[in-house]
Amino acid sequence: MLGEPPVIELGNTTFAVRGRPRDGLRTVPDLVGWLRAIRPRLPVVLADEDLVGIGEDDLRTARELRDTVRSLADAAANGREPDPDAVAALNRLARRTPWWRELRVDPEPRVVASCAGPSVAFVLTALADEAVALFGGPARDEVRACQGPGCVLYFVHGAPRRDYCSAGCGNRARAARHYAKVRQAT
Ligand SMILES: [Zn+2]
């Protein structure tokens, strides 16, 4: 987890280790682990018992959303038009679970998101809704692909400007530049 918006974190469950692509969402337990880690930052309350009911269907939905987010992030980061299939997929995922906002007044007035279906399906729909807001709003121009050697992660860059998803990638890039310079000199 990089502290990015949860939907970007979902996109980053495809990552690279020493330049080799890895899939962090291959199994239902992978999805349970990811949801448990991101839970405090989700727009929807997810209880422990909700995590028990996660199945293959949720995994398929999460993976489709992940791949869709990566496609849209790639287009945004490179200033390209988004793939129409990815746009259609995102809109389909965003309307999968009907949900609404409710006013709660105890202990103090606040807004909570509610739905009639299972919580995990709702979480995935809410993440798709976050992606709609991200790629349909001004933050789209802030989406970047990490420039670290072999890195395939995305991030939303704010101030200060940065080119890397993490300090680790920045250090690896500096080391690679240094190595290239030394090799050129010898
Ligand atoms: Zn990186």
Dist. CA 121 → ligand 1 center (Å): 30
Helix (H) or strand (E) holding 14: strand 14-17
CA 113 – CA 126 distance, rounded (Å): 9
CATH number for 6-185 (one of 3.20.20.150, 3.90.650.10, 3.40.50.11810, 1.10.3300.10): it is 1.10.3300.10
Dist. CA 37 → ligand 1 center (Å): 20
Residue 77: name the closest of 23, 173, 153, 170 by CA. Answer: 153
Dist. CA 70 → ligand 1 center (Å): 14
Question: Mean pLDDT, 10 residues at a time, over the chain (186 residues)?
Answer: 93 92 96 95 88 95 98 97 98 94 92 86 95 96 93 86 89 89 85
Q: What is the pLDDT of residue 159?
A: 65
Per-residue CA distances from 173 to 164, 168, 169, 181 (Å): 9, 9, 6, 12
Dist. CA 86 → ligand 1 center (Å): 23
Dist. CA 178 → ligand 1 center (Å): 18
Q: What is the pLDDT of residue 121?
A: 93
Domain parsing of the chain, residue ranges: 6-185
Per-residue CA distances from 70 to 9, 16, 78, 90, 143 (Å): 10, 14, 12, 11, 11
Dist. CA 126 → ligand 1 center (Å): 26
Q: What is this structure's pTM? A: 0.90
